[in-house]
Structures are given as C-alpha cells and as structure tokens.
Amino acid sequence: MSQPRRILIVGGVAGGASAATRARRLNEHADIVIFEKDDYVSFANCGLPYHIGGEIKDRSKLLVATPQSLFARYRLDVRVRTEVLSIDRQNKTISVVNHNTKVESTERYDQLILAPGASPIVPDAHGIGSNNVLSLRNVADTDRIKKQVDAMSSQGAQGPPPQQAVVVGGGFIGLEMAEQLADRGLAVTLVERNPQVLPLMDFEMAAMLHEELQAHDVKLVFGDGLVGFETTPTDTSQSDSTETATAAVLASGQTLKADLFILGIGVRPNVALAQQAHLDLGATGGITVNEHLQTNDPNIYAVGDAVEYVYRPTETAMRIALAGPANRAGRIAGEHAASDAANIPMTAVLGTSVVRVFGLTAGLTGLSANTAKRFGVNVASVTIVANHHVGYYPGAKPITLKLTYDPDTQRVLGAQAIGAAGVDKRLDVIATLIQLGGTLEQLAGLDLCYAPPFGSAKDPIHMAAFTALNAVHGLAKFLDADADLSGMQILDVRTAAEIARGMLAGAIHIPVDDLRDQLDKLAPEKPTVVVCASGLRGYVASRVLMQNGFTDVADLSGGMMMRRRAKPNETLV
C-alpha cells in the first residue's frame, strides 16, 4: 500500500500537472498540492498562438484541466494565484503568498517538485513597457495580444492599409506568431538578429522557410537586433501603460513602424527559488538534476524549462525548452516522489521539434551541421529531396531531408526536414533511431509501412540513409551545398530546359542521359563536381564518371536547389 506523504509542486502547467497526476496514480494516500502563481493550471501553452490566430476559436479548449477537474478526478489541492516565495530546506517547508488575500503562509513538504518553467526574455530597452509591446507565455498574454489583434484586424477589414505588426525573433514562437498574425490580415515584419530563422537549422534549410514567409508577404529583416522603441504617451484611462510604441528601433538605426510588437527572443529559466535554496545550477543556467529529476537535495525535484537535461548527441547538459521533455520529466519526478519503487529514468533528449510556417512544415532532431560545428563534433551530412509519397499518386509533395551522421561510427546524429507534408513522420522515425543509438545501416534497413497514398517503397528516410551509406562506402562523395567549387571541373547534368534558368559559372553542360557518349568533353584527372537539380541525377552521373577513370568526383548535395539557397548571391551564367 502507498505511504502517506506530502508532495508540494511549484507550477501547475506542463511539468507540474504531469508530476501531480502521476504522483496521485501511484499514491492514493499522498497529500498533493499544486501552487500556481497565475490564474490557470494545465493550459495548452503550445496552442496559444493558434487561438490568437483564430484557428482554435474556443478559448476554453486551451484550458485542458481546471482546479475543479483536477480535484474531482485526482483529489489534487490546486491553489491558483498562490506564489511560492522561498524554500527552507532545513525544515522542509516553503513560504507561499496568496495573491488574492495577500496572506503569507508556510507549508511543510516531504517531497517538493519545482516546475516553474521559464520567462520570456525582455530586454531592458526604451519603450519595452509600452502597452503594445507584448510577449507570449501564458493565457493572460494571449488575451492581451488577441484583444489588440482583434481590434487591428477589424480595422483592416474596413479598408486598406492593413495594420502593421513586428515580430522580433525567428524561433518557433516568432514563426508561429508571424504566420498567425499574417493570417489575421496584418502586415508582418519578422526581425531576427541572426542571418536566418531557426538558428539551430542549417542555413540552406532555413532559407526554404524564408521563401515561404516572403511568399506570404512577411517582410524579413535579418542580421539586425532590437535596441528599443519609439513611443508616444498613452491615454492612461484606456491602458495600464503610459506609453504606446510607434516603431521598433534596430541596431543598424533602421526603424520599423507598427501598431503591435511581439517579442519572441527566447526564454530564461525560472531559477530564483532554486538559487535561494542553494540548489546546484549547471553551466547553461538551468537546475542540475539526476536521471530521477532530483536536484542535489534528494527531496527536491525539478523538471521542465527550468532544468538542464542530458543532450543525447553530445551527452552534455543542456536546456531544452520543449513540452515533450517537460511532460515526460514531470511524470518521472511525480512517480519517484510518490513511490519508493525505482522508476523509469529520464532519457537523454534530442531537441526534436517541429513548426508549421504557412504551407511548409519544418523540423529537426539532434545535430544539424551548424550545431555540430558549434559543439566541435565531427559530422558528415547528406541532403536528399524525395516525395512524401510515390510521385504517381496524386498530391505528392517533396520533402527536403538533411541527415547528419558520424563518419567514423556511422551513428546517425541528426536530421532536418522541410516540406508540405510528411515531415513530422520522417523526423519522428529518425529521432527514434537516434535515441536508440542507431546507425546508417540500421536506418537503411528500417521496415516502414507503405502504400501509394502514404509513402514509397523506398521512403525518403531510406533514400537519405542509402545516400549517406554510398558516401561511407566510397561509392560517392558529397559536397555541402555551400562548398567552395573554385578550381573544380563543374559538370551540370540537368536538361537544356533546366539550365536555361542558369548554370554555375564555368560549368560544362552534358545531360545525364548523354554522358556516356560525351565523356571526351571532360578531363578525367581534374577534381570534378557534378551538379543537377536536387542531387539524384548528379549521383547517377558521378557513378558513370567514377567507373570511367575519373579519379576525384563529387556530387553537390541537394543540387542547385540547395546551392541557390546556400549561396543566393552566386552569379549564374
């Protein structure tokens, strides 16, 4: 029979609510209390942008559970508008304040679970407190932003010009907000300090999202950061703030006039309580936890955006502010806190993530070539373009899939994918393989489901693995999309119609089907790179060359499609 104990939980959303419900399922006799400083528990953070955009119409759908429903089913004592102020580890108590009554009290615990999440980074800049400069983290933020957007889009409907919005930050939340605001009819500008959105992705992959954003009239400003706002005084009878921002001021001096400004420039872990209680923090600023999510005090657990997990590709500690790890960690901590049985430990995480940007889905798992470089991990990568289901079945959409692997061990280390359909499925399969420490050969051998409406007998996943194995086995060599081709013999094997849109300077054009008859146009002793549209014909051509005395032949990974994205300013002839 489960033992009575008092489990207190700080934060009642992703990690906290998961911990509480798991704890109850394992221990019917525990006294479990959730303290949540805001008004709502267990709400759908990830759905917030879509309520602002109008895709999730009914606000109540965001409130997955309420204090009442959590009491009814789990007998959880949920105290909203109650903030935990400090922890006394010696006496195993916390002090809390009820924001309604302003009454402070002390609560005893046997186990304490910290799930305080993270807070949006808000730079200390002029005008940052303006009533139309907003971040998105919780339901109150959503209500605030939605109210303004509703007012703005109804004004836009009465006639041009549309109201303007600036979204600062090209991460997941920035992209989701840019999409949703544009869908509401606002004229959106996205500002990102890096030269691309989703900085964890490789540039040429992210470039596909740039094209999609621009195709939907989202203006992009890269390589420029926010330094402040131009403001005007506000009618304080209408608003708490004394100022309204009229323009974002960027580091370059450029100003972007707008009516609404959304900040999505990252989050900081909420570690004040942990610091006050002298719990260990790691190098990235998150709370240090073991595989059971215990801090250096075994009676205090921590989960979610506030902690550091083990990042599988480097086996180092890292903050991964995503809902999946927070929910899983909450469940594990709740289980460990509530029962004396050894539980399933937290596994290392990959940062598997996905975002929709208008008609495209983009996602990644594990290392990109970009992040590998940053961590000093030696990787090789290949890029393939393949349809999400067989081309002959109507509606096939290309997926661009970039696979990253260890060239020595052949272990798969990461994948990035972009396409209009089927992206999430490919990433999840590859993430599963990476999680299990799988190799290219194992990826190539996966027995995946297939019928024409769903995939191909050789899935894009297999194609990426085959391509990488060809490189590993010396059957092909692949150059990155941004490779320096100077001094190389460039062979373009596309059709005449395709090259009419431009070829790399100095390239020799021989369509792949004519290559065997025209080998005398090429110098076999010269380092040669073969170029086609997406890399597939280039590989076929490179096999012809390699078996006809050409000693140094490479295929340009992802072909001209990715080359143009990696090097958009390169002159074509």
Which residue out of 532, 533, 553, 562 is catalytically annotated?
Answer: 532
Q: Does 11 bind ligand FAD (CB under 6 A)?
A: yes
Nearest alpha-carbon partner for 387 in 496, 216, 536: 536
Q: Closest separation between CB of residue 136 and ligand FAD, Å?
A: 5
Told to check if 112 binds ligand FAD by CB under 6 A, we report no
Select the residue interacting with ligand FAD from 23, 115, 149, 384 (CB under 6 A).
115
Q: Is there a contact between 400 and 560 (Cβ–Cβ < 8 Å)?
A: no
- Using DSSP bridges, classify how beta strands 553-556 and 528-531 pair: parallel, antiparallel or unpaired: parallel
The answer to whether 136 contacts ligand FAD (rule: CB under 6 A) is: yes
Q: Which is nearer to ligand FAD, 46 or 536 (CB)?
A: 46
Element (H, E) at 534: none
- Minimum separation from the CB atom of position 67 to ligand FAD (A): 13
Per CB under 6 A, the segment of 32-40, 154-162, 343-351, 558-566 that binds ligand FAD is 32-40
Residue 139: phi, psi to the nearest 5? -65, -40
Binding ligand FAD (rule: CB under 6 A), the pick from 179, 204, 212, 305 is: 305
Q: Does residue 334 bind ligand FAD (CB under 6 A)?
A: no
Q: Is 49 in the site for ligand FAD (CB under 6 A)?
A: yes
Pick left, alpha or beta for residue 395 (phi over 0 → left; psi -120 to 50 → alpha; otherwise beta): left
Minimal distance, residue 317 CB to ligand FAD, in Å: 16
DSSP 169-185: --SHHHHHHHHHHHHTT
Q: Which is nearest to 84 in space by CA: 7, 11, 5? A: 11
Q: Which residues of 224-258 are buried (b: 16+ CB within 10 A; e: fewer)?
A: bbbebbbbeebeeeeeebebbbbbbbbeeeeebeb
In this chain, which of 265, 326, 362, 507 binds ligand FAD, going by CB under 6 A?
326
With binding defined as CB under 6 A, does residue 198 bind ligand FAD?
Answer: no
* E-only strand ranges, 59-201: 77-80, 82-88, 93-98, 104-108, 111-114, 118-120, 133-135, 164-168, 187-192
Residue 263 pairs with which residues in a beta bridge?
A: 135, 168
34 contacts ligand FAD (rule: CB under 6 A): no
Output the six-digit token pair for 32. 């479990």
Minimum gap (Å) between residue 105 Cβ and ligand FAD = 13
Rule CB under 6 A: say whether 171 interacts with ligand FAD: no
Options 133-141, 229-237, 501-509, 565-573: segment touching ligand FAD (CB under 6 A)? 133-141
Q: In this complex, which beta carbon is closest to ligand FAD, that of residue 273 or of residue 384?
A: 273
Which residues, at least 6 apart from 164, have a Cβ–Cβ distance to it below 8 Å? Answer: 186, 187, 188, 189, 257, 258, 259, 260
Minimum distance from residue 83 beta carbon to ligand FAD (Å):
4
CB of 269 to ligand FAD, least distance (A): 9
Q: What is the DSSP string of 164-223?
A: EEEEE--SHHHHHHHHHHHHTT-EEEEEESSSSSSTTS-HHHHHHHHHHHHHTT-EEEES
Give me the helices (H) in 339-415, please.
Answer: 369-375
Q: Are 293 and 302 in contact (CB under 8 A)?
A: yes
532 is catalytic: yes
Site for ligand FAD in 472-491 (CB under 6 A): none
When the beta carbons of 112 and 152 are compared against ligand FAD, the nearer one is 112
Q: Which is nearer to ligand FAD, 48 or 379 (CB)?
A: 48
- Residue among 35, 301, 311, 550 that touches ligand FAD (CB under 6 A): 35
562 touches ligand FAD by CB under 6 A: no
Number of residues that bind ligand FAD (CB under 6 A): 33
| Residue 61 per-residue DSSP state | G
State yes or no: cis peptide before 199, omega within 30 of 0.
no
Candidate list 38, 179, 204, 480; residue touching ligand FAD; CB under 6 A: 38
Report which DSSP code applies to 566. H
Residue closest to ligand FAD (Cβ): 304
Contact flag: residue 192 with ligand FAD (CB under 6 A): no
CB of 392 to ligand FAD, least distance (A): 34
Task: Say if residues 303 and 11 touch (Cβ distance below 8 Å).
Answer: no
According to CB under 6 A, which one of 9, 30, 33, 48 is a site residue for ligand FAD? 48
Neighbours of 508 (CB within 10 A): 15
Single-letter code of the amino acid located at 429: V
> End-to-end alpha-carbon separation of the chain, Å?
78
Among the listed residues 5, 50, 80, 117, the single contact to ligand FAD using CB under 6 A = 117
Taking CB under 6 A as the binding criterion, the range among 110-118, 366-374, 380-388, 420-428 that sits at the site for ligand FAD is: 110-118
Residue in 21, 26, 36, 467 binding ligand FAD, rule: CB under 6 A: 36
Instruction: Decide: is 321 part of the binding site for ligand FAD (CB under 6 A).
Output: yes
**Whether 214 contacts 206, CB under 8 Å:** no
CB nearer to ligand FAD: pick between 36 and 243:
36
Q: Least distance to ligand FAD from the beta carbon of 140, Å?
A: 10
Tell me which residues are annotated as active site: 532
The residues binding ligand FAD (CB under 6 A) are 10-11, 13-16, 35-38, 45-46, 48-49, 83-84, 115-117, 136-138, 173, 270, 273, 304-306, 321-324, 326
